[in-house]
Amino acid sequence: MKSFPEGDGVFETIKTIDGVPQFLARHLDRALKSSRSLRLPIFSGEEVVDLIRKEIERSDVAGIGRLRVTFPSDGNVFAIHEAFTPWSEPAKLTIFDNPVDEKASMAGHKALPYKENLDLLEQARAGGFDDGIRLNMAGYICESAVANVMMKVEGRWITPTLSSGCLPGITRAVAIEWFGISEEDLLGSEISTIESMFLLSSLKNLQPVEFLNGRKLDMSEELLQVARAQTAQDLVD
């Protein structure tokens, strides 16, 4: 995947709109917490912000962009800013048979190497899907290959707890704060109870899921309007 960071460390993928990074403070705070937890070099926030500013000016990307900031184990932080095309259609998801180890030291961190996630994404696309759902070792729904998930079950919107091993996503946190989404775990064996679903990520914002493992989910016009509005919205905090 073009410009994707390699090696060891942590990274952040940040959506930009007309050169303005969305939720930059939250992204840098998450990267700092992960760096401390994984005993990586601690970066200077001011220096990183200056690095980002220079990269955005250099790239001169209009409209929606993708900013990747990498914090390698050698301490040499770098950033790449490129144009990005957001989703235009609802997603079709499969179910992966590669569980997330929720007790692993790297669980819950946006850490490198990221090859397993990218391989799963490629596997899904090769099968005619856009992504897939990963369970954790305990059998609970965790996340997709590259996004958090939000599910409607019995008329209520929920998202897996952080103890499931999922990434503490920025868009996930915003959905909890702004929309009152509950943090609850759902067993993979109960996946048939999911009525509607969204993929949540900094680049996607909210992407509705049309098919889950071949089963059509509720795709009301109201849900589509909410998703499209959130995807186009400037979400600076």
Q: Supply the pLDDT for residue 196.
A: 95
pLDDT bucket at 1, cuts 50 / 70 / 90: very low
User: Among 58-72, 183-197, 219-233, where is mean pLDDT lowest?
Assistant: 219-233
**142 within 8 A of 169, measured Cβ to Cβ:** no
Residue 125 has pLDDT above 50, yes or no: yes
Residue 2 has pLDDT above 80, yes or no: no
User: Among 48-57, 60-69, 94-103, 228-237, where is mean pLDDT lowest?
Assistant: 228-237
Q: Which contiguous run of DSSP H or E holds residue 151?
A: strand 148-153
The token pair that represents 81 in the structure block: 């800013």
**98 within 8 A of 61, measured Cβ to Cβ:** no
Measured distance CA(174)–CA(236) in Å, rounded:
11
Within the chain, all domains assigned CATH 3.20.10.10 are found at 91-232
- Share the mean pLDDT of the chain: 93
Mean pLDDT within 38-57 = 97
- Percent of the chain at pLDDT exceeding 70: 92
Within the chain, all domains assigned CATH 3.30.470.10 are found at 9-83
Q: 143-184 pLDDT, tens per residue?
A: 999 999 999 999 999 999 999 999 999 999 999 998 889 999
DSSP string across 73-116: TTS--EEEEEE-----S-EEEEE-S--B-TTSTTTTS-EE--HH
The token pair that represents 110 in the structure block: 């946006």
Measured distance CA(41)–CA(74) in Å, rounded:
7
Q: Which contiguous run of DSSP H or E holds residue 223?
A: helix 221-232
Query: Do the strands 148-153 and 78-83 form a parallel or antiparallel pair, or are they unpaired?
Result: unpaired
Residue 232 has pLDDT above 60, yes or no: no
How many CA atoms lie within 13 Å of 34's alpha carbon, on the beta-carbon side?
Answer: 26
pLDDT bucket at 233, cuts 50 / 70 / 90: low
CATH code 3.20.10.10 for 91-232: yes
Residue 79 has pLDDT above 50, yes or no: yes
**81 within 8 A of 54, measured Cβ to Cβ:** no
Residue 90 has pLDDT above 50, yes or no: yes
Q: Supply the pLDDT for residue 236.
A: 47
CATH match for 9-83 among 3.10.450.50, 3.50.50.60, 3.30.470.10, 1.20.1090.10: 3.30.470.10
Higher pLDDT, 1 or 88: 88
Q: Supply the pLDDT for residue 149.
A: 98
